[in-house]
Structure 1
Amino acid sequence: MLDQSFVARSLEEIRFWSRIMKEHSLFLKLGFRCDDTQLINEANHFYAIFEAIENKSNAFNIGTDPSVIKRFNEEVHIAVSYIWAFKRKVLGLILRCQLPGANNFPLLVDHVSREANYFRNRLSELNAGRLEPLPDAIIDENVFFLRIMADHAKFISHLLDPSERQLVEQANNFSQEFDTLLYQARDLESMRPESQTLPLLDQFLDQNKVSVKSLRDFKKTARDMIEACRIKSIIHPLLADHVFREAEHFLVIIDMFENSLTGNSA
């Protein structure tokens, strides 16, 4: 049963995050200047790598030998480490003003590198069999994902056309809301272990869930409107869907934590 859980968790993480890494490669490429051929080629290379990983993960199932999945996790870990290094290299070039005129925000590049580091750490934890105790995981996962959600709101605000005033205002409001939730999460983080009581953690999850659902719905509406060409923006339709899926993923994690806290699920 433990082996099945390891296989299921590993495949779930890889299937979700390998697609995210693949799409990061595309978004970074779209933000490079046409003369940045080396960076474009590197981004295309990573796109192909993570597409292959995604396809390979879909060929496995819950009955796959855990030793095969453990080796697969190691293989994916190497690929993620390389794309993390690529993202940090790109961030350094931007911050040293060596890519003037390119369209990748420094915060966006830092954001996608944080997600790569998260994915890499999760693979290491799975293979080592040392997932965090539930109270620590609840706080740490929320600190990570609340910042991701706050970043998304900022990106949406800056990529919408300035004339979309109402949508820009909504995105800015979400940015402020999630910054506040993040500060609260960090306060809870610094107060641990004393803060890790069931009532406080349960309230923490409830409050975050309400806000994430609201942001998820906003992202879904924006995605649908972008796909229908009903709003003015420079947001790629795939990017709109990408941030929507990450909000959905966060909600799944919150639900899992809530069930675990109340004893409904391991």
Structure 2
Amino acid sequence: MANPIVVRSLDEIQFWSRIMKEHALFLSLGFTYEQQQLIAEAQQFITVFERIEEKLSRFSADTDIRQIQAFNNEVYQAAVAIWSYKRKVLGLTLRCEIRTNNFPLLVDHVSREAAYFANRLKELNEGKLAPQPDKIIQENLFFLKIMADHAKFIGHLLDPSERKLVNQANEFSHDFDQLVFQAVDLDSMRPQSETVPILDQFLDQNRVSVISLRDFKKTARELIEACRIKSNIHPLLADHTFREAERFLEIIDLFDAHLTQSKQ
């Protein structure tokens, strides 16, 4: 039987390495012509994560746990490195030392995802797999903020003349901001494991909202790919945000299964 730590590690690396590679691409596209050094650094990270993806293809669920732990450490170093690069770019932007087409919130957003990825690898190498109630809330809080950010980016990158879509994106932004505040309150209350109904309701509410946003992103992606709406949204970025919504739904299902099992 395959080791669940191995299976989860490979899954995390497969998903997040592609995300990190795309972050580097999006940042590079947002820099100006004068920022060649930052563009070159971003391109180096694209190469780093392409190599990780290539190496990942050599592993399987039956790979020895020690090999996966070593690989996790290697990928962890890459995730920390790209996090550091993103924070450097954010610092330069906030100090007005550079001016780019990358929103500061977007740079912060992608750095949070790099930190999340690095932390997941660290946890897996520590043997942490089963979620705890406080982890369920914090994980949802992280992804709810990601979804709220996505809605804001979509709203700002759509052409102002796309009024209906802009309004829809703004509505999603507001809805997910409210879910973020609700999650912060619940995290402060720190419900214990016996308070399962509260967590059930929390996950169910989030699932409904994420499905709605996921479907909106899917429609937007299809319209962008068909050149049927006016925007500055790269088709790959549209697909990128769609995949992250799908990922959040998978995680909600994992937590839901864990809560169901804990009742038995």
TM range (shorter): over 0.9
Residue 191 in 1 paired to residue 189 in 2?
A: yes
Displacement of 1:73 after TM fit?
0.3
In structure 2, what is the Cα distance between the partners aligned to 1:204 and 1:55? Answer: 38
In structure 1, what is the Cα distance between the partners aligned to 2:165 and 2:252? Answer: 27
In structure 1, what is the Cα distance between the partners aligned to 2:186 and 2:139? Answer: 13
Q: 1:194 to 1:165 in 2, by over 3 A?
A: same
In structure 2, the residue matched to 1:251 is: 249
In structure 2, what is the Cα distance between the partners aligned to 1:94 and 1:227? Answer: 31
Residue 98 in 1 paired to residue 107 in 2?
A: no
**Of residues 208, 221, 233 in structure 1, which corresponds to 2:231?**
233
Residue 151 in 1 paired to residue 149 in 2?
A: yes
3-state DSSP of counterpart to 1:11: helix
Q: 1:111 to 1:127 in 2, by over 3 A?
A: same
In structure 2, the residue matched to 1:12 is: 11
Q: 1:131 to 1:6 in 2, by over 3 A?
A: closer
Displacement of 1:35 after TM fit?
1.2
Residue 168 in 1 paired to residue 159 in 2?
A: no
**Of residues 108, 130, 133 in structure 2, which corresponds to 1:110?**
108
Residue 126 in 1 paired to residue 101 in 2?
A: no
8 Å contact from structure 1 (residues 154, 171) kept in 2:
yes
Displacement of 1:134 after TM fit?
2.6
Q: 1:75 to 1:232 in 2, by over 3 A?
A: same
In structure 2, what is the Cα distance between the partners aligned to 1:153 and 1:265? Answer: 35
In structure 2, what is the Cα distance between the partners aligned to 1:17 and 1:88? Answer: 18
Alpha-carbon displacement from aligned partner over 1:53-100 (angstroms, at most 9, x marks no partner): 112112211011111100000000111111000000000111011112
In structure 1, the residue matched to 2:62 is: 63
In structure 2, the residue matched to 1:29 is: 28
Aligned residues: 264
**Of residues 199, 214, 217 in structure 2, which corresponds to 1:216?**
214
3-state DSSP of counterpart to 2:3: helix
Displacement of 1:196 after TM fit?
6.4
- AA aligned to 1:140 is Q
With structure 1 as the length reference, what TM-score do the two structures score?
0.96
In structure 1, what is the Cα distance between the partners aligned to 2:119 and 2:228? Answer: 40
In structure 1, what is the Cα distance between the partners aligned to 2:13 and 2:168? Answer: 33
| Percent of paired sites with the same residue | 67
Q: 1:191 to 1:158 in 2, by over 3 A?
A: same
In structure 1, the residue matched to 2:201 is: 203
The gaps in structure 1 that reach 5 residues or longer are none
In structure 1, the residue matched to 2:46 is: 47
Alpha-carbon displacement from aligned partner over 1:194-247 (angstroms, at most 9, x marks no partner): 596111000000000000000000000000000000000000000000000000
Q: 1:217 to 1:196 in 2, by over 3 A?
A: farther
The gaps in structure 2 that reach 5 residues or longer are none
Question: Over the residues paired in the alignment, what is the CA RMSD in angstroms?
Answer: 1.7
8 Å contact from structure 1 (residues 153, 175) kept in 2:
yes
In structure 2, what is the Cα distance between the partners aligned to 1:188 and 1:195? Answer: 13
In structure 1, what is the Cα distance between the partners aligned to 2:34 and 2:8? Answer: 41
3-state DSSP of counterpart to 2:261: coil
In structure 2, what is the Cα distance between the partners aligned to 1:144 and 1:181? Answer: 11
3-state DSSP of counterpart to 1:200: helix
